[in-house]
Amino acid sequence: MATIFSKIVNGEIPSYKIAEDENFFAFLDINPLAKGHTLVIPKTEVDYIFDLDEETYMGLQAFARKIAIALNKAIPCKKVGVAVLGLEVPHTHIHLVPMQSEQDINFANPKKKFSPEELEAIKNQIAKAL
Q: State the catalytic residues.
A: 93
Rounded Cα gap, residues 29 and 8, in angstroms = 12
Q: Left, alpha or beta for 75 (phi > 0: left; psi -120 to 50: alpha)? A: beta
Interaction between residue 15 and ligand AMP (CB under 6 A): yes
Q: Find out whether 123 and 35 touch, Cβ atoms under 8 Å.
A: no
Q: Which is nearer to ligand AMP, 21 or 107 (CB)?
A: 107
Nearest approach in angstroms of CB 22 to ligand AMP is: 21
Residue from 2, 12, 31, 106 that binds ligand AMP (CB under 6 A)?
Answer: 31
Q: Which is nearer to ligand AMP, 9 or 70 (CB)?
A: 9
Considering only the stretches 23-31, 65-73, 74-82, 120-128, report the one whose residues sit in contact with ligand AMP under the rule CB under 6 A. Answer: 23-31
Rounded Cα gap, residues 58 and 94, in angstroms = 13
Q: Which is nearer to ligand AMP, 70 or 96 (CB)?
A: 96
Render 1-18 in DSSP notation, one character per residue.
---HHHHHHTTSS---EE
